[in-house]
Amino acid sequence: MSAGAAVAAPPDAESCSQVPVLRERGQREVFCGLTSIVWLHRKIQDAFFLVVGSRTCAHLLQSAAGVMIFAEPRFATAIIDERDLAGLADANAELDRVVGRLLARRPEIKLLFLVGSCPSEVIKLDLKRAATRLSQSFGPNVRVLNYSGSGIETTFTQGEDACLASLVPSLPPEPADAGRSLLVVGALAEIVEDQLGRLLGQLGIGPVRFLPPRSAASLPQAGPRTSYLLAQPFLGDTARALDERGAQRLDAPFPLGVEGTTRWLQAAATAWGISTARFDAVTAPAAERAQRAMARYRALLAGKRIFFFPDSQLEIPLARFLAREIGLVPVEVGTPYLHRQHLAAELAMLPAGTTISEGQHVERQLDRCRAARPDIVVCGLGLANPLEAEGITTKWSIELLFTPIQGYEQAADLAELFARPLDRRMRLVA
Amino acid sequence: MQLTLWTYEGPPHVGAMRVAAAMQGIHYVLHAPQGDTYADLLFTMIERRDRRPPVTYTTFQARDLGGDTAELFKTAAREAYERFRPQAMLVGASCTAELIQDDPGGLARALQLPIPVVPLELPAYQRKENWGASETFYQLVRALAGPAVPPSGTQRPARAAGVRPRCNILGPTALGFRHRDDLAEIAALLGRLGIDVNVVAPMGAAPADIARLGEADFNVVLYPEVASAAAQWLHRSFGQPATRIVPIGVGATRRFVQEVAALAQVDPAPALDDPGSRATWYARSVDSTYLTGKRVFVFGDATHAVAAARVAKDELGFTVVGLGTYSRELARDVRAAAQAIGVEPLITDDYLEVEAAVAALQPDLVLGTQMERHIAKRLGIPCAVISAPVHVQDFPARYSPQMGFEGANVLFDTWVHPLMMGLEEHLIGMFREDFEFREDAAPSHLGSHAAPTAAPSPAPAPPAAAESGGPIVAAWEAAAEKELGKIPFFVRGKARRNTERFAAERGVPLITVETLYDAKAHFGR
Ligand code: SF4
């Protein structure tokens, strides 16, 4: 914490980008990986997420999700209490009892994730063993997997990475006679999935499968004939697990904005040997429509200065999109963690001179933000209203995870998310 | 291990944050991992505070665990002191840091900061938010007011002639249910009695204010969940008596005025009534006749639940059919109140248990927390919110206290509004065959979404019922079904349920017109 800021050259020799990075250590004002349960449980509709943690973990989930969900959710917390802390044998028996009660109540559940938290990790509760044991008792009806969403190991969207990585070993192998296939990796809104699937289909690329799937029964296959495209920038562990299955990553920027979407599709088209003519014929109309839709926001936003607090790891692709297609000027782009390899193409496209910061010392970052007086700040829910009260316009970053933003048809919607707070500020006269 | 979907209370360190965020000139250094910073949004988003709570989190990571998390804590505390220059500091651990046992109190002492440092021990695996708020407030009061405590056995000197009586108001915190407005209401009431307010705490108090709590003649305890422990210590240490009556409802407000007047030795008359008090008259007006005997289910923190049950019964003429709380610390008060009303107390923090109780009782109105609002919405039952846990809606822009005479007006409006207005109910019943009144027409004041007639979406069967395959539902004879159709639609659902229950309990396989009226006679309404 006292180490302070250091500007370090990238340690990664194979990185194609030499952007200097401000490394920060101090208070991190970010969610832990448990938070990604809020969208993951909507995505895999027959999965249940059981956090093994404390009242804090339950309260975090409810605070991040509670206002949005009325029905009985497909997530819960097994709250560890004093008696569990007294002896580990008890904790395992207790966990079995809780899972039994849960599955009796929710017979439609086919996939159960035991999600580790800081307390379960500090007391070394072995959820991997628990998952194996429970899979034996409740299989084959229910598959039980485990991953960590703890705040000492994961930041916000890394929870999705850990979840998907835990699924990869369960993906069925390719049949012996399988042709090549494309796997799109990262949770996307259904509408985005369908749009991207249609475009890939029109290009003649396929079969296309998605991870995570919409149900536990439709797990996509994985193997050496599988190429995969990351749809999200925070999936380092999942990519590694897929590599271990022999799948190949297609390097591309992320499908945000017209340029990002085109280059993302291009990576697949190149791998599939699709002709330029066909690629243009399929993508040009959608790209042109998106350009038209974005024009109005470009007029409003061009030249405005934007500052990103670290949150979802989407910050760098977002800054790239906003700078190159909307004309915003990124002042500082904070990211909780910088995966240089997966973000190489993105970093190369950022305007020269953009400050990138990794990690966080929230007080010092607030000082920099106040000094820079940006026109708009992207930050988490804890910082938004205090900054607004200081007269700084903000955009809550969590909305970027809950709103469909990828692909051509969403490019203008994405720009609109940043235009709305400024528009609002201009409307309010009192 | 307890399976929890939704929780009524956060962990105890959130209670400590509610105290710290309410005060001035204080900073809380919390040994906690990064995800625990979510708690900031409770204050900035739900309560729309314009500044971050005064909390620094160490946000240690797994790689720090093998190394020196203690050093991390010291750095965070030192930096927080230098940056924020607080007049006092709270230090403590969240659930995870409690397990690594770094002793924040000892570490902070080693820094020798030139301000009082109050260490908090908040056992996260046993206790919850309200207890955490209470313990934090108590420890702060002890630490800061302790130096002013007179030697034991010292008699409290009598108030000199001509000096106005003074009290402290204890309990309001950040994120409290209407604390801001209750405080304004009660301070004004005390003003009318000629009583000065020495210190309000925690809300708005600086450490120096806490240090002079002992100067008041007595304490007004607005929220026992938060302030009882501190008030008891103040009583022992300074001989300050404290109020016991929580002024929610007209009756309790009057009793509170009497109690306060006695403690202050002033005449209660100026505050025993209020020209703006309308709740009592509204409850007596003829339109309110239809409120008679409405069956209400009450759940909340102990103070608000007990008060709501009393107001519902004595001031609105409702019938309280269920009463419960999630506050185990004050469960005794709720048990006593439930016994006095003649219902089984429900003491639980398991949301599913509360849901099962509401589903079984099928009340006309639920008075609960935001959790019960969700339950009631799913079951199609009207609901008003009376207690924390809070939601952004519980911080209205307008003045909206729960306490005092104006608070009683607010209770009348907010509890009666979800029910159908009496006259309108009558007219809809009369004209229900008219073409304008579709069966699912809702009274206009309930908005386009409310449809009290719609059969409530099937409640998730309580586990027991599900296991036994559920009760057998008798069939309806055509004539009985037709007769049922003549019953006003807004009570038809209940008539159907009651009749079916009546038939099931007696093993009647076919419901006739006779069964319908037998059931009506049995259930009596
Ligand atoms: S940071 Fe750790 S203790 Fe806190 S909510 Fe996340 S997993 Fe739970």
Interface of B with A in 131-190 (CB under 8 A): none
Output the pLDDT for position B449: 42
Identify the band that residue B421 occupies on the pLDDT scale cut at 50, 70 and 90: low
A52 Cβ closer than 6 Å to some ligand 1 atom: no
Closest residue in B to A90 (Cα) is B1
Buried b (16+ CB within 10 A) or exposed e, A401-429: beebbbbbbbbbbbbbbbbebbeeeeeee
- CA-to-CA distance for A189 and B296, rounded, in angstroms? 42
CA distances from A149 to A25, A99, A153, A285, B40 (A): 21, 18, 7, 41, 20
* Spacing, Cα A296 to ligand 1 middle (Å): 42
Output the pLDDT for position B467: 38
Judged on CB neighbours under 10 Å (0-12, 13-18, 19+), A303 is exposed
Q: Which CATH number does A22-28+291-429 carry?
A: 3.40.50.1980
CA distances from B87 to A105, A403, B110, B135 (A): 52, 44, 18, 20
> What string of DSSP letters covers B142-197?
HHHHGGGPPPTTPPPPPPPTTPPPEEEEE---TT-SSHHHHHHHHHHHHHHTT-EE
Q: Which of B42, B83, B99 sits opposite A122 (nearest CB)?
A: B99
CB contact under 8 A, A27 and B65: no
- Residue B82 at interface with chain A, using a CB cutoff of 8 Å: no
Output the pLDDT for position A18: 65
Output the pLDDT for position A377: 98
> What string of DSSP letters covers B432-477?
TTSTT--TT---GGGTTT--TTSPPPPPPPPHHHHHTT-PPPPEEP
Q: Is the pLDDT assigned to residue B332 strictly greater than 90?
A: yes
Find the mean pLDDT for residues B119-145.
97
Look at B431 and B235; give whichever has higher pLDDT.
B235
- CA-to-CA distance for A370 and A387, rounded, in angstroms? 9
Q: Is the pLDDT assigned to residue A222 strictly greater than 90?
A: yes
Find the mean pLDDT for residues A15-20.
58
| A310-346 pLDDT tens trace | 999 999 999 999 999 999 999 999 999 999 999 999 9
Closest CA to B176 of B132, B243, B223: B223
Identify the band that residue B450 occupies on the pLDDT scale cut at 50, 70 and 90: very low
B258 Cβ closer than 6 Å to some ligand 1 atom: no
CB contact under 8 A, A54 and B124: yes
Q: Is the pLDDT assigned to residue A291 strictly greater than 90?
A: yes
| B43-56 pLDDT tens trace | 999 999 999 999 99
Closest CA to B107 of B139, B75, B82, B74: B74
* Spacing, Cα A35 to ligand 1 middle (Å): 9
Output the pLDDT for position B461: 37
3-class state of residue B89 by DSSP: strand
What distance separates the 2 farthest-apart alpha carbons in chain B? 85
Same fold, A22-28+291-429 and A33-153: yes
| Structure tokens, A427 | 């409307």
**Which of chain B's residues have a Cβ under 8 Å away from the Cβ of A27?**
37, 56-59, 76
Q: Is the pLDDT assigned to residue B525 strictly greater than 80?
A: no
Alpha-carbon dihedral sign for residues A167, A169, A174, A180: positive
Output the pLDDT for position A69: 52
> What string of DSSP letters covers B200-238?
EESTT--HHHHHTGGGSSEEEES-HHHHHHHHHHHHHHH
Percent of chain B with pLDDT strictly greater than 70: 89
* Spacing, Cα A33 to ligand 1 middle (Å): 8
Q: Is the pLDDT assigned to residue B321 strictly greater than 50?
A: yes
Domain locations along chain A? 22-28+291-429, 33-153
The answer to whether the beta carbons of residues B386 and B308 sit under 8 Å apart is yes
* Level-2 CATH architecture, domain A33-153: 3-Layer(aba) Sandwich (3.40)
Q: Which of B33, B40, B100 sits opposite A151 (nearest CB)?
A: B33
| B212-225 pLDDT tens trace | 999 999 999 999 99
How close B14 comes to chain A (CA, Å)? 9
| A367-398 pLDDT tens trace | 999 999 999 999 999 999 999 999 999 999 88
**B404-416 helix and B250-264 helix, angle to the nearest 10 degrees:** 170
CA distances from A176 to A156, A218, B20, B144 (A): 38, 19, 64, 75
Beta strands A21-25; A6-8: pairing state: antiparallel
Find the mean pLDDT for residues A185-203.
96
- Residue B33 at interface with chain A, using a CB cutoff of 8 Å: yes
Q: Is the pLDDT assigned to residue B454 strictly greater than 90?
A: no
Sequence length of chain B is 525
Output the pLDDT for position B426: 52
The answer to whether the beta carbons of residues B366 and B296 sit under 8 Å apart is yes
Alpha carbons within 13 angstroms on the beta-carbon side of residue A393 total 18
Q: Is the pLDDT assigned to residue B92 strictly greater than 60?
A: yes
> Edge-to-edge strands of the sheet including B196-201?
B196-201, B166-170, B218-221
- Residue B378 at interface with chain A, using a CB cutoff of 8 Å: yes
B411-416 long-range contacts (CB < 8 A, ≥24 apart) are B411/B248, B411/B249, B411/B279, B411/B308, B411/B311, B412/B278, B412/B279, B412/B282, B412/B283, B412/B316, B414/B384, B414/B385, B415/B312, B415/B316, B415/B365, B415/B367, B415/B384, B416/B288, B416/B291, B416/B316
State which of B30, B36, B98 you would mutate to test the pocket of ligand 1, scoring each by most atoms of that ligand within 8 A of its C-beta: B36
Residues contacting A353, CB < 8 A, separation 6+: none
Judged on CB neighbours under 10 Å (0-12, 13-18, 19+), B136 is buried
Identify the band that residue A353 occupies on the pLDDT scale cut at 50, 70 and 90: confident
Q: Which helix (H) or strand (E) holds A21?
A: strand A21-25
CB contact under 8 A, B60 and A363: no
- CA-to-CA distance for A61 and B472, rounded, in angstroms? 39
* Spacing, Cα B62 to ligand 1 middle (Å): 12
Output the pLDDT for position B484: 86
Cis peptide before B389 (omega within 30 of 0): yes
Output the pLDDT for position B404: 98
| B483-494 pLDDT tens trace | 888 776 667 777
Give the phi and the psi of residue B385 in degrees, each rounded to 5: -90, 130
The answer to whether the beta carbons of residues B12 and B329 sit under 8 Å apart is no
Find the mean pLDDT for residues B417-441.
57
Output the pLDDT for position A12: 42
The answer to whether the beta carbons of residues A31 and A401 sit under 8 Å apart is no
Token pair 């309806």 is found at: B476
Mean pLDDT across chain A:
92
3-class state of residue B265 by DSSP: coil
Find the mean pLDDT for residues A242-259.
98
Q: Is B287 a catalytic residue?
A: yes
Output the pLDDT for position B472: 66
Task: Give, using CA atoms, the residue closest to atom 3 of ligand 1.
Answer: A118
Find the mean pLDDT for residues A403-421.
95
Give the predicted TM-score (pTM) of the model.
Answer: 0.89
Q: Quick one: DSSP state of residue A391?
A: T
CB contact under 8 A, A380 and B41: yes
A61 Cβ closer than 6 Å to some ligand 1 atom: no
Mean pLDDT across chain B:
89
Give the phi and the psi of residue A157 in degrees, each rounded to 5: -65, -15
Judged on CB neighbours under 10 Å (0-12, 13-18, 19+), B444 is exposed
Output the pLDDT for position B447: 45
Residues contacting B168, CB < 8 A, separation 6+: B197, B198, B199, B200, B201, B213, B216, B218, B219, B220, B234, B240
CB contact under 8 A, B10 and A56: yes
Name the active-site residue from B287, B314, B413, B518: B287
Output the pLDDT for position B453: 38
Q: Which of B3, B34, B38 sits opposite A76 (nearest CB)?
A: B3
Find the mean pLDDT for residues A204-233.
96
| A129-139 pLDDT tens trace | 999 999 999 98
Question: Ligand 1 atom closest to Cα of A149?
Answer: 7
Angle value at C-alpha A197, between A194 and A198, nearest 5 degrees = 85
What is the number of CB-based contacts under 8 A between chain A and chain B?
Answer: 188
Q: Is the pLDDT assigned to residue B441 strictly greater than 70?
A: no
A6-15, A218-227, B303-312, B502-511 — which is least confidently predicted?
Answer: A6-15
CB contact under 8 A, A385 and B5: no
Q: What is the ipTM score, two decimals?
A: 0.93
3-class state of residue A360 by DSSP: strand
Q: Which of B11, B42, B52 sits opposite A386 (nearest CB)?
A: B52
Closest residue in A to B125 (Cα) is A81
- CA-to-CA distance for B523 and B525, rounded, in angstroms? 6
Output the pLDDT for position A263: 98
Identify the band that residue A71 occupies on the pLDDT scale cut at 50, 70 and 90: low
The answer to whether the beta carbons of residues B177 and B393 sit under 8 Å apart is no
**B404-416 helix and B179-192 helix, angle to the nearest 10 degrees:** 140
Q: Is the pLDDT assigned to residue B66 strictly greater than 90?
A: no
Count CB atoms within 10 A of the CB of residue B473. 11
| Structure tokens, B320 | 């309280």
| Structure tokens, B279 | 């709740």
Closest CA to A88 of A133, A50, A132, A125: A125
Find the mean pLDDT for residues B198-209.
98
- CA-to-CA distance for B380 and B374, rounded, in angstroms? 10
Judged on CB neighbours under 10 Å (0-12, 13-18, 19+), B45 is middle
Give the end-to-end CA distance of chain A in Å, rounded to a whole number.
42
- Residue B369 at interface with chain A, using a CB cutoff of 8 Å: no
Token pair 């004309």 is found at: A327
Alpha-carbon dihedral sign for residues B130, B131, B134, B137: negative
Closest residue in B to A76 (Cα) is B5
| Structure tokens, A239 | 């990519």
Output the pLDDT for position A10: 40
Q: Is the pLDDT assigned to residue B143 strictly greater than 60?
A: yes
Q: Is the pLDDT assigned to residue A70 strictly greater than 80?
A: no
Identify the band that residue A206 occupies on the pLDDT scale cut at 50, 70 and 90: confident
Alpha carbons within 13 angstroms on the beta-carbon side of residue B300 total 26
Find the mean pLDDT for residues B59-76.
92
Output the pLDDT for position B79: 97
Residue type, A8: A
